[in-house]
Structure 1
Amino acid sequence: MYDPAGLKSFFNGYGENEWERLQKNLHGRVEYEVTKHILKKHLPPDGHILDAGCGPGRYAIDLARMGYRVHLVDISEEQLRIAEERIGETGVLGNISSFSCLDVCDLSEISDASFDAVLCLGGALSYVRGGRHRAISELIRVARPGSPLIVSVMSLLGTFHLLSPFDAKDFLVNIEDHVEWDPSTEFPDHLNTRPGSNEWHAPMTLYTSGYMREFLEEHGCEVLEIASTNTITSSYWDGLEKITSNPEATEMLFRLEKEFCTRSGLLDMGEHLIAVAETPRG
């Protein structure tokens, strides 16, 4: 079940952590670089863009610098406050059209076909859990017919690479305490994490790339591409410091992550799935 009040409270309390997450270590920087790579590849040359679930505005800043008119939406007042502050510091506030505190499951304040592209990056679609069908319907509704819809979610299979920083033994022995899955049944193509588990920062739905494609197609979208972030770095946290200390190694890692991000055999190895779709033409 989706708990919007709980999600709002979590991200209001999360503060600057979300802003810092994409820059504080090489792992976050890879996610950031791969996501920007996908955006540059698929966005229209200009126009109005909705950044739904914008968080503290890191991608909105990049979009504004590229000349887009950006509309920011987030469920958290605190994340929007940070976004406005950070964007103001960069000098691109003139390209920001609005800041709106809205739930991605209810964008009724926004008119149909308002945007030339709609983004929902990070994990907003994962955090709404059972509200995902309503959320994607709203994102499609506010996009112009035939425009790009770029959304990302937490990867189900890729998340299991994160066991190493956590208590892997406890997770595996007590897996039903952490995910809503009965081990006597077949492993699903998407599942919910268990609220209250200490392995997750917030309750979410985890997706496979196959389910992500089916989900978007079910809503009438044409899926153009699915990519994945951290296909390499998800499996070796311990070696990242050595890479960070060498600029050439860091740049090569960024290049390889971008090269590999759409390889079909690696899609479910990364931590975030990024789907690029064309919204229904009517």
Structure 2
Amino acid sequence: MSRMVDYYNQFDEWGRLDREPIEFKVNWHYMKKHLPSSGHILDNGAGPGKYAMALAHEGYDVTLTDITAKLVQVAEEKADELNLLGQFNGFHSADARHLHMIEDEQFDASLMLGPLYHLQEEKDRNQALSELHRVTKLGGIIFVAFMPRIRHILTSLLSPEHWRPNNEIDNILHFTQTGRFNHSDEGRFTGAYYFEIEEIQPFMEQSGFETLELIGSNPGSILSDEQWTYWRDKGDNEINKIIELIKERAADPYILGLSSHLLYIGKKK
């Protein structure tokens, strides 16, 4: 976990969502569809708080946690900068597996948009879900992010030197069996776990959640920078149409494997 924390200490996660706005816009579209009209929301593994700020701006009471203390500090500074501090009930540096500072059934909805794909051991993923279940109210809505294994297999084949050690086919074949990825290069995205898509729904349901939807947050990530430039050069109207198309098709099960991130939406039973 220390390598993961080191990575996020130097990585601009807020900027990533600005540079890749479709992921945020698609997730936010589906969150608004399922969120209660008001209430107390947990953003667990929030990073610098991009979603937490949007929730606070909508009038929700928000509690924010992340394992990286620097990002928790950034989130609190962002809330202050945006005059949203009054909507927050706390900023906590905390491991998603151990939310000891939070009592049972506190939240009308809970987000966990990062921790699961940094927990390579099954027991740790189960513990994080157990904690999410514990702190969410009965009937509360949960939003959990996953990364699909098939997409990383294809990404490794397309850009092998960018994803070493997956520049060797035997390493890719090993990854297909384990779902675990540890980058060979220091300072790169590492310590990750990628799910088989068909595993996600039963994994969540065995942890006490009822499935509502599973969507592809960003199937547009299959397009290269050059291809996105082509569409951007046609103007904002064209880009907006593309975003609406992706929102419309995000819940299509046939598109899930193309997306770099998936969003599971469920309800605590």
TM-score of the superposition, structure 2-length normalised? 0.90
Equivalent residue number for residue 8 of structure 2: 11
Between 59-68 and 242-251, report the one with greater CA deviation. Answer: 242-251
Residues 84 and 168 of structure 1, relative CA distance in 2, 3 Å threshold: closer
2:121 paired with 1:126: no
Equivalent residue number for residue 255 of structure 1: 244
AA of the residue aligned to 2:116 = L
Q: CA deviation at 1:86?
A: 1.4
Residues 13 and 255 of structure 1, relative CA distance in 2, 3 Å threshold: same
Conservation of the 8 A alpha-carbon contact between 2:22 and 2:220: no
Q: SS in structure 2 opposite 1:70?
A: strand
AA of the residue aligned to 1:202 = T
User: Percent same amino acid at aligned positions?
Assistant: 28
Equivalent residue number for residue 210 of structure 2: 222
Residues 179 and 274 of structure 1, relative CA distance in 2, 3 Å threshold: farther
Distance 2:49 2:206 in 1: 30
AA of the residue aligned to 2:13 = E
Q: CA deviation at 1:93?
A: 1.4
Distance 1:228 1:255 in 2: 13
Equivalent residue number for residue 84 of structure 1: 76
Residues 241 and 113 of structure 1, relative CA distance in 2, 3 Å threshold: same
Residues 197 and 205 of structure 1, relative CA distance in 2, 3 Å threshold: farther
Conservation of the 8 A alpha-carbon contact between 1:129 and 1:192: yes
Distance 2:112 2:195 in 1: 15
Q: Match for 2:135 among 138, 142, 159?
A: 142
Between 162-171 and 55-64, report the one with greater CA deviation. Answer: 162-171
Equivalent residue number for residue 94 of structure 2: 102
Conservation of the 8 A alpha-carbon contact between 1:31 and 1:230: yes
Give the paired residue count.
Answer: 265
Equivalent residue number for residue 167 of structure 1: 161
Q: SS in structure 2 opposite 1:116?
A: strand
2:229 paired with 1:238: no
AA of the residue aligned to 1:244 = R
Residues 195 and 236 of structure 1, relative CA distance in 2, 3 Å threshold: closer
Equivalent residue number for residue 201 of structure 2: 213
Distance 1:85 1:175 in 2: 44
Q: SS in structure 2 opposite 1:94?
A: helix
Task: Report the aligned-residue RMSD.
Answer: 2.2
Residues 60 and 179 of structure 1, relative CA distance in 2, 3 Å threshold: farther
Q: CA deviation at 1:94?
A: 1.0
Conservation of the 8 A alpha-carbon contact between 1:161 and 1:234: no
Conservation of the 8 A alpha-carbon contact between 2:183 and 2:189: no
Distance 1:179 1:6 in 2: 24
Conservation of the 8 A alpha-carbon contact between 1:63 and 1:70: yes
Q: CA deviation at 1:168?
A: 7.5
Distance 1:70 1:242 in 2: 39
Residues 237 and 229 of structure 1, relative CA distance in 2, 3 Å threshold: farther
What residue ranges of structure 1 are gaps of 5+ in the alignment?
Answer: 182-186
Equivalent residue number for residue 25 of structure 2: 33
TM-score of the superposition, structure 1-length normalised? 0.86
What residue ranges of structure 2 are gaps of 5+ in the alignment?
Answer: none
